[in-house]
Amino acid sequence: MDNPLNPNRKKQRIDDLAATAGTGGGAGSVAVADLTVGDAGHIAESTGVSLIASAWSRLRRDPVFLLGAFITLAFVLLAIFSPLIAPHDPTAGLLLKEVRPQTNPIPGARPGYPFGADSSGRDIFSRLIVGSRQTLIVGVMATLFGFIGGLTLGTLAGAIGGWVDSVVMRVVDVMLSIPSLLLAFSVAAIAARPSQWTVIVAIATVQVPIFARLLRGSMLAQRGSDHVLAARALGVKPSAIVFRHMLPNSLSPVIVQATLVVASAIIDAAALSFLGLGNPDDRQPEWGQMLGKAQQYIYDHPALAIWPALCIIVVALGFTLMGESLREALDPKSRR
Amino acid sequence: MTSMSASPSTHPSVHPGAGEPLLSVRDLRVTFQRQGQEPFEAVQGVSFDVRPGQTVGLVGESGCGKSVTSLAIMGLLPKHGNHVSGTVDYEGTNLLTLSDQEMRDKRGKDIAMVFQDPLSSLNPVVPIGIQVTEVLERHRGLSRKAATPVARDLLDRVGIPDPDRRLKDYPHQLSGGMRQRALIAIALACKPRLLIADEPTTALDVTIQAQILALLKELVQDTGTALVMITHDLGVIAGLCDEVNVLYGGRIVERGERHELFAQPRHPYTHGLLASIPRLDAPRGQRLQPIPGSVSDNLPWTHACAFAPRCSQPIEVCTQVMPELEEQHGRALRCHNPVEGHR
Ligand SMILES: Nc1ncnc2c1ncn2[C@@H]1O[C@H](COP(=O)(O)OP(=O)(O)O)[C@@H](O)[C@H]1O
Ligand SMILES: [Mg+2]
């Protein structure tokens, strides 16, 4: 995550990313090797290498990307199949008899319970595994809603321009100038009853301006591009120019940003539930919430906090590594 | 030339018996105005005619205002930061006064354009077929399904082998020459009466250039499409154009029928351009004669001939008075001291 206290750095970073769409030709393809033809009158087959193909050939050999992709894939599979993988029911107080509220509130590790149980006697290992599902849902949904919101605002600003652009971008800049966690807290705190959905909406709100600025930047680059001029020279209608010619070519930096956003959404979601602004129902395990609950036992039982924290860090790292190497691979400036 | 009767530069004479012009550009001026900068007049009163089926060349070195002229005709200049004046009559309608909507209906249907760089002029994420059918759907009201066979025939017509497969290909899967063929197919899809080609071969290999020029020539002859050929390369003009306009510093400095102009260039700039082309029939050991200096040496047209600092035979008046465009026998010349005799 960027330093939330420095909105200018945040903006700069977004704009740099947007610029990659303008020069790179977007999600599609730009011929790298433009070979030519042999004898006159006969057209030889000569195929350029698309941006995606050349990016992929580099990513395939990039250990950072492979590590990130491995973590991400493992996490997604874990989240999907968590009920099958978890050895115990994460909501059942199986070790409740072992809990001694006065002397030893946390049952330690034992056969079948590698990380022990929490103060309600529930298996921590199973809770961590099943908690991945909440994390995935919140991370992906928040990113999706943020993406949709940013897409709408960014398209509006980049396609219409003029005063619409000015108004939208001033609102976006104001939102960007508020530290992202503070904004998320404010939105989450508005809700009468905190739930999983308030977390998703709060985090999505934070992502909207990032996606909006990013998309508007790459839409503007597209607006001045040759193929948009060529489409206009054919009398193509403005709506088709925007949706067929500008938008699809503006998406690649936005998609890269989305993988990075999942990482920060996971961290922010954990922060919100850690502070009690998340889903209060602890029958649904969630890493941030487990971290929050571990607070009162932090001196005697630090493992209770370390395990969920480690999960959050590793998963966020996985998405970040993948996103950053994707970004680098798709950035035409970094091509070798 | 100075003894020639001066006719107003805004009314070039009509070729006898050549019919009414399809496109008639009169005193076209384009001024770019950026905040905090001096206004810059990129096109300074350009006038020319294009008759149906005719191929007219617009020649001049880089930066002389060729692209700006073509964009102004098409109404494709940015909405802000420039001012266009004069008239662009297309079949009696002044295109400069049309609304955005009316102009959109004309572009691609009545007037089409082919640009310099075939790769960047195609949408990288849309298959070629969709890019051809798009314009058919737009202007001929065809459905995607009905337009596909038409698109296939068009690709076939411009010499793209295996058109059925190529319809599904993305631009990066085609070679440079094939991309330009595809762009020509798209431009001619709705049988426009006028095609503007802005340096269509500059980004291509020499062998491909010849193919594309031959294709353009064949297509405009077959369909009776009028062609405005914009180029910095007199070699392109030589094989293609009926009439040639030579541009310098945003103004036309010489105009003439192709053979006459090549046989007897009268403006020192045209003369210099021709002399700087390698000739096979030149005596051995004769060196090429490039025009000295660059566009940055130009004087302002307002009180001089812009070309004077680079001219091979300037006289005193060249740096004091702007020469007018004078017409005689279908040729026009803007020069105080023209080149005499045959080349
Ligand atoms: N959008 C623009 N804003 C300001 N100046 C421009 C713009 N487009 C072109 N020009 C200037 O107009 C002149 C003519 O450009 P152009 O018509 O593109 O030349 P060419 O003959 O090579 O096609 C150049 O000096 C160029 O710098
Ligand atoms: Mg040009």
Task: Tell me the residue type at A218.
Answer: S
pLDDT of residue A43: 39
Please report the pLDDT score of residue A49 as a whole number: 52
Which residues of chain A neighbour B103 with C-beta distances below 8 Å? 235
pLDDT at site A20: 64
Give the model's confidence band at A125: pLDDT under 50 very low, under 70 low, under 90 confident, else very high: confident
For residue B23, the model assigns a pLDDT of 95
Contacts for A165 with CB less than 8 Å, ≥ 6 apart: A157, A158, A216
pLDDT at site A194:
81
Q: Which residues are B32's β-sheet partners?
A: B40, B82
Within 8 A of A233 by CB-CB distance, chain B residues are 74, 76, 107-108, 112-113, 115
| DSSP codes of every residue in B81-112 | SEEEEEEEEETTEEGGGS-HHHHHHHBTTTEE
pLDDT tens digits, one per residue of A2-21: 454 566 777 777 777 777 65
A248 contacts on B by Cβ (under 8 Å): 123, 125-126
CA of B294 to the centre of ligand 2 (A): 16
CA of B48 to the centre of ligand 2 (A): 18
- Residues in chain A with CB shorter than 8 Å from the CB of B206 are none
Listed in sequence order, the residues at least 6 apart from B31 whose beta carbon sits closer than 8 Å to its beta carbon are B39, B40, B41, B42, B82, B83
pLDDT at A318 > cutoff 90: yes
Identify which of B28, B29, B32 to mutate to test ligand 1's pocket (most ligand atoms within 8 A of the CB). Answer: B32
pLDDT along chain B (343 residues), means of 10: 42 50 95 89 94 93 93 92 94 94 94 92 92 94 93 93 92 90 94 94 87 90 92 87 94 93 91 80 73 84 91 91 89 91 63
With an 8 Å Cβ cutoff, are A234 and B175 in contact? no
Mutate to test the pocket of ligand 1, among B37, B68, B248 (most ligand atoms within 8 A of CB): B68
pLDDT averaged over chain A?
80
Q: Which ligand is nearest to the CA of B31?
A: 1
Give yes or no for A29 touching B (CB within 8 A): yes
Whose alpha carbon is nearest atom 4 of ligand 1?
A: B32
Predicted structure pTM score: 0.81
Q: What is the pLDDT of residue A120?
A: 75
Say which of B115, B205, B208 has its CB closest to residue A226: B115
What pLDDT sits at residue B16?
35
pLDDT classification of A333: cutoffs 50, 70, 90: low
| Coil, helix or strand at residue B222 | helix
By alpha-carbon position, which residue is closest to atom 25 of ligand 1? B63
Distance to chain A for B299, nearest Cα, Å = 31
Tell me which residues have their CB closer than 6 angstroms to ligand 1.
B 32, 40, 42, 60, 62-68
DSSP state of A109: -
Q: CA of A156: how far to CAs of A216, A246, B182, in Å?
A: 8, 12, 32
**B interface test, pick of A42, A43, A237 with most B CB neighbours within 10 Å:** A43
Q: Where do the DSSP E strands lie in A109-162? A: none
Q: What is the DSSP track for A228-289? A: HHHHHHTT--HHHIIIIIIHHHHHHHHHHHHHHHHHHHHHHHHHHHHTT-S---TTS--HHH
B residues 207..236 contacting A (CB < 8 A): 207-208, 210-211
Residue A150 pLDDT class (50, 70, 90 cuts): very high
Q: In sequence order, what are the residues at sequence separation of 6 or more whose Cβ sits closer than 8 angstroms to the Cβ of residue B146?
A: none
Percentage of chain A modeled with pLDDT above 70 = 82
For position A208, what pLDDT does the model report?
A: 93
Q: Does B202 touch chain A if contact means CB atoms closer than 8 Å?
A: no
pLDDT, tens digit, 9 for 90 and up, residues A70-119? 999 999 998 888 888 878 787 777 666 766 667 776 777 677 777 777 77
The torsion defined by the Cα of B92, B93, B94 and B100, in degrees rounded to 10, comes to -160
Minimum CA–CA partner of B104 in chain A: A235
Determine which residue's CA is closest to atom 27 belonging to ligand 1: B63
Whole-angstrom distance, CA of residue A237 vs CA of residue B40? 31
Ordered structural domains, chain A, with CATH: 7-39 (no CATH), 51-334 (1.10.3720.10)
Phi, psi of B193 (to 5 degrees): -85, -15
Out of A45, A235, A249, closest to residue B124 by CB: A249
In the structure, ligand 2 is a single-atom ion and the residues with CB under 5 Å from it are B 67
- Whether ipTM tops 0.85, in short, is yes
A243-255 pLDDT per residue, tens: 999 998 888 888 8
B8: left (phi over 0), alpha (psi -120 to 50) or beta: beta
Which of B170, B172, B180, B199 would you mutate first to test chain A, the one with the most A CBs within 10 A?
A: B172
Q: Are A266 and A318 in contact (CB under 8 A)?
A: no
Query: Tell me, what's the pLDDT at B196?
Result: 96
pLDDT in tens, A26-69: 333 333 333 333 333 333 333 445 667 777 888 888 899 999 99
